[in-house]
Structure 1
Amino acid sequence: MKQRLSDILVIAPNFKRRLSGVTATIVRLVPVQSKSIPIVATGAGLPAHVPYIPVWRLPFLKRKRRVWHARRNTEMLVGLVLKHIFRQPLKLLFTSASQRKHSGYTKWLIGQMDGIVATSAKTATYLERPCDVILHGIDLTDFTPIDTESRSALRHKLNLPDAKIIGCFGRIRAQKGTDLFIDAFIQMAKTDADLVAVVLGRALPKDQEFLAGLKTKIAQNNLSDRVVFPDEVPVDQIADWYRVLDLYVAPQRWEGFGLTPLEAMACGVPVVATDVGAFSEIISTKAGEIVPIGEVAPMVRAAQRLLSADQSGLSEAARAHVEAQFSLEREANALIDIYHRLLA
């Protein structure tokens, strides 16, 4: 989808080919924002429905004030090149999701920006300058709950038992805490014969040994028939895998923001999550629990409490919480307010 070049006021670069959380954010936000402000994305790996201009056109745009909304170091650097070498009168905005100490190079880049957005209050503490805090939102029409009868039918369609199902989604690797989830499930399965686990995600080649170790541990505990590792699922089918769950677990050891708990809660699924990323800022105590990082026992206790609680009440509370505070439109509009401020 193309915008008339002379109308463009905001450019959102995506300079990474492999799918990532940043790319997913751009793909979600730009089409929504384009309804209210002339915005385009540029770079690689973007689907056809996202308003777009090719990178090669950037230096040759008619000179007028625009916002360059970077989310990575390379994108901040290119914004500076366009501004100072190609003399494009850009206002440079950077969104940071990282919760770690920045290198000297990154600090220098951030120092050149005209505006900074942090995706959580925790992230803001790592930035050594004032910033706006805007939490991510999700599309509430894509992620919706279903009733009990429909859930049973969906489980059958996905070749899952109509049992008590807990899930953990995302890259299969130590940073994501997949091993902690498996350890917690093994403990819970010893006393709950109706419990099934779904581990949905991909292990990169470097993490295949890690995945093999998980499967070996599961087999040693005679639970191979109760842990499901589905093939990689297309993005537009992810919501169905949340809908079949009784509980979602986010066991990460580190996370920048972490959208999966929001996606689960939007589907009416309660959440247990470690205290990383923005989890403590996005999970309601009425719909989930936060547990310490890297500890299996508190994860088990929290999961057991939520599984034994009133499921319909938890589901309603989870959905209501996300509807009230975490719509994609809220995030899009908050960013548009900053664009207008920079363009004024």
Structure 2
Amino acid sequence: MTLHPYPTSLDAGQTAARLPYPLLVTELIRLLKDESVKVPQRVVQPLPGGGSLFVMPALDARTAIAKLITLTPANAGSGLPAIQGDVVVFDVATGRRRLMLDGPTVTARRTAAVSLLAAQRLAPNTRGPMLIVGAGVQGVAHLEAFAQGLGVRDFRITSRSHASAQALAQHAQSLGLNGRVVPDADAALADCPLAATCTPAGGVVLSALPRDDGFISAVGAYTPAMVELSAALCQYVAAQGSVLVDTPDAVHEAGDLLQAGLDVARFASLGEVIRQDMKKPDGPVLFKSCGWAGWDLAAARTALA
């Protein structure tokens, strides 16, 4: 048996290099069409002090993964990352460990790639500008993904931390993009057909109603108790446009939609969009992303390739 020459354990930079957004989006599509994929329910174990331990397995006919990460919101502002851990990748046939990927990097890039895929398939207007609410790791990943995958050049950035927002704007400028800090997310939404909310989801950060050609990817809230979007915003898009979710698991995870009193089970998932080759809907679109180990499996498959 020929062993692969690349290192088994990849750091953050090596992991990112193996997950370019165009290839990652392509692999997401392949995974959603792969009938061998199985994703057991993830375990979220609360930890003393307010953190959580996530155990997220997934597999297909050839590859099995286990994502083991901690989420520690108390690390905000301390210099320590909020998300830490690894994605361990195994060969199904031999049981051999093939790779160990940096967990935070996988989480950031696969989440942004899922938003990008949803926008490519569903957004009425993909030209931008794009509003990014939250200038942390996910804000950076979404800016880079939408610039690379949709050619968006103009970004408006808002964050509870002005320093973080300014740093992300400067990062955009370093990439040859137009990035500027705006003081009010609701006011900026009127000028932005694309938006992503990438916050810790401790409270509503976006209340304004989207444009008729608006697309919002809400990624911060992944439990019933978490929220980023106002109930009125969610209810408006459900009535006047289209709400879609990343997976059917959102029925018990999508805090934004659940707190708005919406029947999450009636909304189509991204898998249905891909498998049924759905056309772009009319009116504004809200894409609710809660996370799924299948996305991590797609990242592992991309890294192996």
Give the TM-score normalised by structure 2: 0.32
Quick check: which one's strand share is greater?
A: 2
Q: Which structure has the higher relative contact order (CA within 8 Å, separation 6+)?
A: 2
Rg larger in structure? 1
